[in-house]
Chain A
Amino acid sequence: MTRFIFNRLLQSALVLAVMSFAIYGLMGLMPGDPIDLMITSDPKITSEDAARLRALYGLDAPISERYWHWLSGALSGDFGFSRMFARPVFEVIWPALANTSILLGLSFIIALMIALPLGIIAAVRPYSGLDYGINLFVFAGISVPPFWLALLLMMLFAVVLGILPAGGTAEAAGASGFWQGLKYLVLPIASLTIASIGGHTRYMRASMIETLRNDYIRTARAKGLSERQVITGHALRNALIPVVTIIALDFGYLFSGALVTETIFAYPGMGKLIFDAIMGNDYNLAMITLLFATAFTLFGNFLADVAYTWLDPRLSFGESDQ
């Protein structure tokens, strides 16, 4: 176990180091820089001003030199300032991370609470009317573009019915309290939940159908166990193995945010922050937010391996490590 954790940490550090260079290099390759954006907003900025500002922000140096400067700072604990928010990057990231964790955490839990039972029900009665009904629902969820779904929900519940806010946060509306806060989360959560139910339901259904074909299930039924006992006591744990892997891999997604949903609902989370940082040429902020997303994805992979071993006693950390 210790060796497994050590190896994974080592691999993760290597991946993060490579990713940091790749992200910085890719951002550096993108045409334009923050000073170009300033020029478009102020026609009075002269070319001399632009050159001076580039030197001041260190944008006139080669990309390798800039990366080395950033890395040296990061290794000594200085992750730099966000150009877009004029404050240290972590001061910007923590609130966004907290917001995203609440939003995606809740939608993740709700989606699983709906998707797993739906997948099991569909698998128990394959090709029945119920199965087709569930499939229709989940394929609709998979097929609907997230931005369209978000706008549709917004128009229906905020504009037509007028019972929920169209986006933002309770603080922006001058409201406070748990219920007010929750109200602002309903539509983004619904949008994310509908979009993610489909995939999880399909995985659960496929895995459960596969498991129910096994000999030991036939044996359990032959012993006279009820269908409920067969499903929950014998099939579910094995059927969950591939599903849990997928769920654990989704863990990283929880912290990288839902770009489209957060942007449309003007929800100040990580997805919107990453988008704004890249579009606004905020190198320091983009670097850290993208590395955060990478780190959590790696952590999700680690969790998937652990969960896999826990659910399937035939595997050990040594085997999964090979």
Chain B
Amino acid sequence: MYALTRLLFALLWIFCLSVTPARAAPDKLVIGITQFPSTFHPNIDAMAAKSYIHAMVARPFTTFDKDWQLVCLLCTELPTIENGMAKTEQTPEGKSGIAVTYAIHPQATWGDGVPVSTRDVLFTWKVGRHERSGVGNIELYRSIYKIDVIDAKSFTLHFDKLTFDYNAINDFILVPAHLEEPHFSEPDKYKNRTAYDTDSLNKGLYFGPYLISEVSPGSHVVLEPNPTWYGKAPAFKRIVVRAIGNTAALEANLLSGGIDMIAGELGLSIDQAVSFEKRHKQAYNVIYKPGLTYEHIDLNLENPLLQDLRVRKALVYAIDRKAISERLFDGRQPVAHTSVNPLDWVYTKQAPQYDYAPQTAARLLDEAGWTVRKGGIRHNAQGDKLAFEIMTTAGNRTRELVEQILQSQWKAAGIEIKIKNEPARVFFGQTMTERRYTGMGMYAWMSSPENVPRTTLHSDHIPTSANNFSGQNYTSFRNPEMDALLEQIELQLDRSKRRELWQRLQVIYAEELPVIPLYFRANAFILPKWLTGVEPTGHQYSTSLWIENWGSR
């Protein structure tokens, strides 16, 4: 019996070994991400997983590169007023507008051999501005009131407003007219009929370095080189993007060779990555890229206690954000002082910064009348307690940890904090959007370089029942100078003058403190030692937009 058992185990072992594939060869790359895209249509349904994959099979006209500079990808030269490719003009309504001319790369060709042309530009514009097409962000398409076709490869966009970012058409991603026009005959049904989802493997849908060759919904996507790609030939003959929702399983898959790398855009949280690096530093490169995801605490300025600026300042002075960043994130996530990232060219050091100063916090609270301590908590002369409720997304381990540390630091300053977390869909779906939080709400904003925070700071964007809770100014911050600055920045073309406006905006933000800035979240890219060329961007435009530069040594 014993011998038989041993024999069975030996056979099982041989079976396992015989069917375990060798570690991925350098001409194949398996990427692990935590989401699966809901569609492959570039302009319907915004989703990080789709952007990540689509960046390998198509290119926008323009985007921000790793240095956060606007660059051309599909166009041949970035149009500017200085080089004459952009010209200010009057719109038919007499408003200030601008005409911007782009040239499509002469060799850009869809995967089925049809050249990428101005026909695609016109069709994409038609789809993008149609209210019923399902395109999420139609503002860009609507702001173009006319397109002049110069020839098959060049065209002029006429914008109905003149803003500093007139040449950034990062979200204008072409769809092939020769394949998609028939599906758009009934715009209402287009989102369900688009070939991107009914015929995802059609080569004619893509013109990037890769084509999608296999899709297993919820599981993985396989990409293979596009023979009609006009740029540098990509190094990998096969790329598999696997969706693994559980991050512990994602890590196990990496260690067992099931995947080669974990994408920073949709991968491990920073504390998981730090822990992983300590254990597996020898086998993997871990790149941390602080970016434009801004973790902060919104303060509900309709709360009478929070209307006092001294209390808001005391709240910031009482917390040691630097120590939190160093202890929890190994210093990989820099402390934020305003919503503008130090890597952004408009960042200023002139805005007030609040280092940890518990004595200053105590003095400010004394001045504000919170002097009587009962049970360690400050009270005012009327006997009211200095207490707030803090909310964040339940289940987000990092935020919950930060929340607990902040709670203890504020308690030391005599401020009582009650934690009341909610599932993300409740927190974002109702509590914040309808401003049902009473004190503080901790979450993050994503943005792009030089992103004007109009929707979060302008008084016109305070969500109320009267405006059906539209807008994202959840703090209900009202400041006429801030409103004016937000409007001026958008229209100011002169970079030096714009920088001045941005500096003033950051100063007001830091002085008024409608929000407690915490830190800029970093993405952790976990890469095998043999992988080269991956250059994290730190913003919403994926690292995979430069997939042709990736290779192996």
Given contact pairs A43-B447, A168-B244, A32 touches B217 in the complex (Cβ within 8 A):
no
User: Would you give the shortest CB distance from B364 to chain A, in whole angstroms?
Assistant: 33
Contact of A87 among B171, B198, B447 (CB under 8 A): B198
Cβ-defined contact, A38 with B218, below 8 A: no
Which residue of the partner chain B has the closest CB to A272?
A: B218
Q: How far is the CA of A154 from the CA of B252 in the complex (A)?
A: 7
**Cβ of A96 to closest chain B Cβ, rounded Å:** 7
Q: Contact: A86 with B430, CB < 8 Å?
A: no
Are A36 and B197 CB-contacts (below 8 A) given A42-B137, A168-B242?
no
Closest-CB distance, A66 to chain B (whole angstroms):
17
- On whether the beta carbons of A46 and B139 are closer than 8 Å, the reply is yes
Q: Which A residues lie within 8 Å of B467 (CB)?
A: 47
The residue in chain B whose Cβ has the minimal distance to the Cβ of A36 is B429
- Asked if B246 and A263 make an inter-chain contact with CB atoms under 8 angstroms apart, the answer reads yes
A169 at the B interface (CB under 8 A): yes
Query: Are the C-beta atoms of B219 and A151 separated by less than 8 Å?
Result: no
**Size class of the A contact interface (CB-based, 8 Å):** 35 or more
* B342 interface residue (CB < 8 Å to A): no
List the A residue with the shortest CB-CB distance to B456: A43
- List B470-486 residues whose CB lies under 8 Å from chain A: 470-472
User: Closest approach, in angstroms, between the C-beta of A279 and any C-beta of chain B?
Assistant: 8
CA A38 to CA B447, docked complex, whole Å: 14
Closest B residue, CB atoms, query A164: B16
CB contact under 8 A between A165 and B245, given known A53-B136, A174-B240:
no
Please tell me if A125 contacts chain B, counting CB pairs below 8 Å. no
Q: Does A166 contact B (CB under 8 A)?
A: yes
A136 contacts B by Cβ under 8 Å: no
Contact with B along A17-46 (1 / 0, CB 8 A): 000000000000011110011101111111
Chain B 239-275 near chain A by CB (<8 Å), digits 1 or 0: 0101111101100110111100000000000000000
> When each residue 240-284 of chain A gets 1 if its CB lies under 8 Å from chain B and 0 otherwise, what string results?
000000000000000000000001111010001100100111000
If A45-B136, A87-B198 touch, does A163 touch B249 (CB 8 Å cutoff)? Answer: no
B429 to chain A, nearest CB (A): 2
> Chain A's nearest CB lies how many Å from the CB of B379?
35
Residues of A within 8 A of B45 (CB): 38, 83, 86
Residues of A within 8 A of B40 (CB): 86
Which B118-150 residues sit within 8 Å CB-CB of chain A?
131-132, 134, 136-140
Q: Which of B15, B19, B38 contacts A85 (CB 8 A)?
A: B38
CA distance A280 to B36 in the complex (A): 11
Given A31-B425, A53-B136 in contact, is the A163-B16 Cβ separation under 8 Å? yes
Contact B220 A87 (CB under 8 A): no
A6 interface hit (Cβ, 8 Å): no
Residue pair A280, B258 in contact (C-beta under 8 Å)? no
Cα(A52)–Cα(B187), bound, Å: 14
**From residue A238, how far is it (CB to closest CB) to chain B in Å?**
31
Whether A151 lies near B217 (C-beta < 8 A) is no
CB-CB nearest in chain A for B426:
A31
**Is A158 an interface residue when CB atoms closer than 8 A count as contact?**
yes
Q: Are B216 and A155 in contact (CB under 8 A)?
A: no
Across the interface, which residues of A come within 8 angstroms of B137, CB to CB? 42, 44-46, 49
In the complex, 26 of the A-B residue pairs with CB atoms within 8 angstroms, ordered by the A residue number, are A30-B429, A31-B426, A36-B429, A41-B46, A41-B446, A46-B470, A47-B463, A49-B138, A56-B131, A56-B188, A84-B36, A86-B191, A86-B197, A92-B217, A154-B252, A158-B256, A159-B255, A169-B216, A172-B219, A183-B16, A183-B20, A266-B249, A266-B253, A268-B219, A272-B245, A281-B425
Apart from the given pairs A44-B171, A49-B139, A52-B131, 11 other A-B contacts in the complex at a CB distance below 8 Å:
A31-B425, A45-B137, A46-B137, A47-B461, A47-B468, A47-B470, A47-B472, A53-B136, A56-B191, A166-B252, A175-B21
